[in-house]
């Protein structure tokens, strides 16, 4: 997952609104959003290479999502970051206990950002920082650096999210996730991957022959606990592969 913009508004009629793109190599096998047979309370896509997931919902209002930290010089990891999301969604540990365990285990993974929460609280943990933080009300953006790092795609997607918050609908959230416009070269960050790759990765929606946005997900959580989730799947060059809708 390489871009997540979200509004966290405790006490509001729609306390959590999420728009997220998962960017990955098209060759990496995965399944789209679905109910997990072995844990029926969990609804998420699934990475078939390592068994984890990038974003999902679970019992008792649980929500979790993940992005990686872009660093071409970091050493290979022993474990897949996707299990951090899956373990929270399938488990029952309170958030504080789960995050304490994640902090202890973080050296086992390549760099990551983890969002986890429930109907009452939402937390963020960047593995390059000393510890997690509980989020206050606001509109946030997360890509492959720290929370609200002002990369062009983050700023653009946050602005687009703010424009639809008065009447959030999945199709509007998915539309903002489909923006293919790359950023001007002068605005690109330098994360060590080279100018051509920085340019490719600078758009909200990424499309190429081998790597790009594999899934766009819209999630709306209401104060009464009901949830509406829609995911679109994509293949090479951004070809549309299907759409899944879940109402709980």
**CA Rg value for the chain:** 17
d(CA 221, CA 3): 19
What's residue 13's pLDDT?
A: 95
> One digit per residue, pLDDT tens: the chain, 248 residues?
699 999 999 999 999 999 999 999 999 999 999 999 999 999 999 999 999 999 999 999 999 999 999 988 887 777 999 999 999 999 999 999 999 999 999 999 999 999 999 999 999 999 999 899 999 999 999 999 999 999 999 999 999 999 999 999 999 999 999 999 999 999 999 898 999 999 999 999 999 999 999 999 999 999 999 999 999 999 999 999 999 999 99
- Tokens 């605005």 correspond to 187
What's residue 1's pLDDT?
A: 63
Strands (E), the chain: 3-8, 16-25, 30-36, 39-47, 55-57, 63-68, 112-117, 122-126, 133-134, 138-142, 211-221, 227-234, 240-247
Question: Could you tell me the two tokens for 65?
Answer: 């999502």
pTM score, two decimals?
0.95
CATH topology of domain 3-247: Penicillin V Acylase; Chain A (3.60.60)
Residues 85/114, Cβ–Cβ less than 8 Å: yes
What's residue 37's pLDDT?
A: 95
What's residue 71's pLDDT?
A: 86
What's residue 75's pLDDT?
A: 79
What's residue 77's pLDDT?
A: 75
d(CA 29, CA 19): 22
- Tokens 């429930």 correspond to 118
What's residue 38's pLDDT?
A: 94
């Amino acid at each position: 997952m390489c871009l997540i913009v979200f509004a966290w508004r405790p006490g509001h009629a729609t306390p959590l609104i999420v728009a997220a793109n998962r960017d990955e190599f098209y060759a990496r096998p995965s399944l789209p959003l679905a109910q997990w047979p072995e844990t029926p309370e969990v609804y998420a896509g699934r990475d078939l290479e390592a068994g984890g997931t990038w974003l999902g919902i679970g019992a008792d209002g649980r929500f979790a999502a993940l992005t990686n930290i872009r660093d071409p010089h970091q050493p290979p990891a022993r474990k897949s970051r996707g299990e951090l999301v899956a373990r929270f969604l399938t488990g029952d540990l309170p958030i504080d206990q789960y995050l304490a365990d994640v902090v202890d285990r973080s050296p086992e993974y390549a760099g990551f950002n983890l969002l986890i929460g429930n109907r009452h609280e939402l937390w963020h943990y960047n593995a390059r920082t000393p510890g997690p933080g509980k989020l206050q009300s606001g509109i946030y953006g997360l890509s492959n650096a720290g929370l609200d790092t002002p990369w062009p795609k983050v700023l653009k997607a946050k602005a687009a999210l703010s424009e639809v918050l008065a009447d959030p609908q999945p199709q509007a959230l998915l539309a903002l996730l489909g923006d293919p416009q790359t950023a001007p070269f002068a605005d690109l960050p330098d994360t060590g991957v080279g100018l051509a790759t920085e340019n490719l990765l600078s758009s909200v929606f990424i499309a190429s022959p081998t790597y790009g946005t594999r899934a766009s997900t819209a999630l709306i959580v209401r104060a009464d606990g009901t949830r509406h989730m829609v995911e679109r799947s994509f293949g090479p060059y951004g070809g549309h592969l299907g759409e899944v809708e879940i109402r709980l």
